[in-house]
Structures are given as C-alpha cells and as structure tokens.
Amino acid sequence: MKIQINGKREDVEAKTVLDLLQAKEIEPQMVSVELNSVMVDRAAYSTTPLKEGDLLEFLFFMGGGADE
C-alpha cells in the first residue's frame, strides 16, 4: 500500500504502526508517531492499523549538548 512518511510517498507492506517501525529498524521508544494529524499513543503502536493513503510523521528524540 502507498502511504506518506515525513512528506515522502512510500510503498509498504506493514499492517500496523509497530510493523512499519520494525521494518524500518526504528526503536519504538525513540520516536513519536503522528498518523493523519493525530498523535498515536506508544502503547497502541501494535494495534494501530495502517491503510492506503495514510499520512505519517515520525518525530525522533534527539539529545542536545550543553553550552560552555
């Protein structure tokens, strides 16, 4: 099925958000997922289905440095 991830169209076979993260080798605890403009609760990644035309945004946690 075709979905859009961070503005890029992709053809994927994943059935759920968790399936997609695993296929992309993304650690679920390191990313927040927005599906069709709604934040997905991390506990629901394995039960949140994907469908043709979905729009996903992956928001990654980044560590910052300290100014000296």
Average pLDDT over residues 46-59: 98
* Largest Cα span, the chain: 49
What mean pLDDT is reported for the chain? Answer: 94
Sketch the domain layout of the chain as residue ranges.
Answer: 2-60
Average pLDDT over residues 36-43: 97
Instruction: Give Cβ neighbours of residue 68 (< 8 Å, ≥ 6 apart).
Output: none
Q: Which fold has domain 2-60?
A: Ubiquitin-like (UB roll) (3.10.20)
Please say whether the beta carbons of 48 and 40 come within 8 A. Answer: yes
pLDDT at 67: 63
Confidence of residue 68 (pLDDT cuts 50, 70, 90): low
Average pLDDT over residues 34-56: 98
Name the pTM for this structure: 0.87
Please say whether the beta carbons of 42 and 62 come within 8 A. Answer: no
Query: Of 5, 59, 40, 37, whose CA–CA distance to 14 is shortest?
Result: 5
